[in-house]
Chains A and B, each alone.
Chain A
Amino acid sequence: MPSAAFLTRIAALALLSATAFTAHAQDRQLVISDWGYSNEFLIPNLFEPFEQEHDVKIVLETGNAPDRLNRLRIRGGVDLIYLTDVFSQQGIDSESFAPIDPALLSNFDDLYEPAKNPQGDYGPAVTFGQYGIIYDTAKVDETITSWEDLWRPEFSRAIAMPGFNTTSGPLTVLMAAKRVGVDAFQDPDAAFASMAELEPNILKTYNSGSELTNLFTTGEVYIGLVQDFAFPAIKAAIPTVEWAEVSEGNFRMMNTLNIAARSENVELAHAFIDWQLSQKAQKDGAVALRTGPVNKAVELSDEEAAQVIYGEEQVMGLQSSPYRDLLDNRADWETRWNAIFGQ
């Protein structure tokens, strides 16, 4: 005879499929794919208000970028996807996204220029971030004022930088090329020779923000090349860590929001993008999640503004990331990179 536990399990399964069925049965549904890191905040503040306003059920699909992009491409069933610019470019290249119609976005004209059409006719940027240098001011005597300072001999094995296959990793090569006065794409030999000179100062290449936090808190490194989303955790652990104000400027990083080519809710998806670009959503994100607003009309207090990329001057002062060229040269660069950092 089946045990009580077995029967309970069957009942639970039945119940679960029943609820799944009800969710399916609901008329309008919008499937949004994101990293999942900030959903605790985003669900009550961004997604639920949209659900009420548009009488639609938002279903979230979370995970890392390659995984989510692959699911969207192969399995489908996703309407909107948040990605970093490098990954959304890969989605565009594989014809996975539908073009955006700016006429359907009431907030479009309020966007900073770099956010409007960062990748042609596809999704706009929805947040700005930056990639730059942070360091423990208690351990560095002479302030870091340029990317070239990373090559100083006293920083032997003191630096952690993102690995090649991360969004920001290859950007370091651009600065290595600049240091020796060449363009990295024109003269990769010289650019990577300059990277090889940096090698003695690199303790480790990392792949996730938490890895870098660990390297800082355990004292393994005191200089990090980093995207700003990883900064607050490190700053909380080591209050003397600061951004270096480098003369060349930090790099501007973008997260984009795109509509899947196979989406059957294109109009509703546009409405959601517009919602995400609105002053309120942009300000909420800036204050709570420290993402740089892309909407010019957002007003932040000085204290709030200090945490993010904010204002025309800052946004335009950042170097843009040539992800198109980076993707085209990836295979060659990866071989060169591995020859230096994979030994």
Chain B
Amino acid sequence: MGADTITRTNRVTALAPWLLVLPATMAVFALLAVPVGSTLAESFSNPLGVFENYRRFFASDYNRMVVLRSFWIAFATTAIALAAGFFAAYLIAGSGPRTKRILILLSVFPLLTGVVVRSFGWMVILGRNGILNNALIELGLINAPLSLLFNQGAVLVGMVYLFLPLMILSLVGVLETIDQDLYSAAESLGSSPFGVFRQVTFPLALPGMVVGSILVFTGSLATFVTPRLLGGERQMTLATLLHEKAIISFDWEAANTIATIMIVLTALSLVALGMLAKRLSPKGRA
């Protein structure tokens, strides 16, 4: 083999990884970057001014309320999922291998069905003739069925149910890796159970909490089916408003503007959560 051939082979070898990722990169560029880019560009293309679409959007009390509501629902969903998920994950992480496998399977089970089915399930449970109302009537606790659907409570229940598995999985991952000896050490040094939680479990679980919160928060901010089915027009969020503008009222300018606002808000939330995590984590403080 001559030196020439070797150089050529080397060059091909050096190029190979790039060539291999090229098709996927092209696909991402063509199918993601270009459409998202044109959505962003379109929202700034009002002849009356670059930010005219945004001025118009935020001039409306209703739209501002929808933005705040979307944030509030995403925040509440994350907080509830974090609290509920932490206990579940703690229990799972601390159980034997067999029980652990069963519990994990049970907690991810909802992920096996589609989001529409899961939201419909809640309609069956919370409906006027639903399981919950019927049970309450059977037990004699109420006389007439309660109106449990199409309010914020229903949306939150549906969203927490939707995202809880993601939170649990993120938390189990980190809780499992905490060395049991740390607990023993803390206890033997006289720390109370709360002290152990505050000084050992919480700081070490923080990365998982942040990852879980990011997944749940951004997911809740963008989710469309659950607020649409369980909340309706009364519980309009940015995602359902975007759908309404694009598909029902034919106002693509507004739809592009909302899409851009959602992208920016999600990105800002990611940065904010990242900064928060950095401040809270033991390494960040050190």
Q: Which residues in A have some Cβ–Cβ distance to B below 8 Å?
A: 64-67, 69-70, 87, 90, 157, 163, 165-166, 203-207, 214, 218-220, 334-335, 338-339, 341-343
- Contacts A66-B247, A220-B127 given; indicate if A342 touches B147 (C-beta within 8 A): no
Chain B minimum-CB-distance residue to A222: B128
What residues of A have a CB within 8 angstroms of the CB of B233 in the complex?
A: 163, 204-205, 341-342
- Contacts A165-B248, A166-B248, A342-B62 given; indicate if A204 touches B232 (C-beta within 8 A): yes
Q: Which of A166, A220, A334, A342 contacts B128 (CB 8 A)?
A: A220
Q: Is the CB of B248 within 8 A of A339?
A: no
Q: Is the CB of A203 within 8 A of B60?
A: no
What residues of B have a CB within 8 angstroms of the CB of A66 in the complex?
A: 246-250
What residues of A have a CB within 8 angstroms of the CB of B127 in the complex?
A: 218-220
Taken together as a complex, chains A and B put the C-alpha atoms of A165 and B254 apart, in Å, by 14
Taken together as a complex, chains A and B put the C-alpha atoms of A67 and B248 apart, in Å, by 9
Measured CB to CB, the closest approach of chain B to A341, in angstroms, equals: 6
* Chain B interface helix/strand/loop/mixed: helix
B contact residues, total (Cβ < 8 Å): 25
Q: Which 7 A-B pairs have the closest CB atoms?
A: A66-B250, A165-B249, A219-B129, A165-B248, A338-B62, A205-B233, A204-B232
What residues of B have a CB within 8 angstroms of the CB of A203 in the complex?
A: 147, 150
Chain A minimum-CB-distance residue to B120: A214
Taken together as a complex, chains A and B put the C-alpha atoms of A165 and B65 apart, in Å, by 19
Measured CB to CB, the closest approach of chain B to A155, in angstroms, equals: 13
Chain B minimum-CB-distance residue to A205: B233
Interface centre among B130, B149, B234 (most CB of A within 10 A): B234
B236 at the A interface (CB under 8 A): yes
B244 at the A interface (CB under 8 A): yes
Q: Which of A67, A220, A342, A343 contacts B247 (CB 8 A)?
A: A67
What residues of A have a CB within 8 angstroms of the CB of B123 in the complex?
A: 214, 218
Q: Is the CB of B248 within 8 A of A163?
A: yes
Q: Is the CB of B232 within 8 A of A205?
A: yes
Q: Is the CB of A90 within 8 A of B250?
A: yes
Q: Which of A165, A214, A343 contacts B234 (CB 8 A)?
A: A343
Q: For residues 226 through 242 of chain B, which have their beta carbon under 8 Å from a beta carbon of chain A? A: 232-234, 236
What residues of B have a CB within 8 angstroms of the CB of A214 in the complex?
A: 123
B252 at the A interface (CB under 8 A): yes
What residues of B have a CB within 8 angstroms of the CB of A341 in the complex?
A: 233-234
7 contacts between A and B (CB under 8 A): A70-B250, A87-B250, A157-B147, A163-B244, A163-B248, A335-B62, A342-B233
Measured CB to CB, the closest approach of chain B to A324, in angstroms, equals: 16
- Contacts A205-B232, A218-B129 given; indicate if A70 touches B252 (C-beta within 8 A): yes
Taken together as a complex, chains A and B put the C-alpha atoms of A165 and B255 apart, in Å, by 14
Measured CB to CB, the closest approach of chain A to B260, in angstroms, equals: 19
Measured CB to CB, the closest approach of chain A to B280, in angstroms, equals: 36
Taken together as a complex, chains A and B put the C-alpha atoms of A163 and B249 apart, in Å, by 10
Taken together as a complex, chains A and B put the C-alpha atoms of A102 and B58 apart, in Å, by 47
Q: For residues 44 through 89 of chain B, which have their beta carbon under 8 Å from a beta carbon of chain A? A: 60-62, 65-66
Q: Is the CB of A342 within 8 A of B129?
A: no
Chain A minimum-CB-distance residue to B61: A339
Taken together as a complex, chains A and B put the C-alpha atoms of A335 and B150 apart, in Å, by 21
Taken together as a complex, chains A and B put the C-alpha atoms of A335 and B149 apart, in Å, by 24
Taken together as a complex, chains A and B put the C-alpha atoms of A338 and B250 apart, in Å, by 17
Q: Is the CB of B250 within 8 A of A69?
A: yes
Taken together as a complex, chains A and B put the C-alpha atoms of A87 and B248 apart, in Å, by 11
Taken together as a complex, chains A and B put the C-alpha atoms of A67 and B252 apart, in Å, by 10
Q: What would 9 more interface pairs be, CB under 8 Å, given A218-B128, A335-B62? A: A66-B250, A163-B233, A163-B248, A207-B244, A220-B128, A338-B62, A342-B233, A342-B234, A343-B234
Q: Is the CB of A219 within 8 A of B62?
A: no
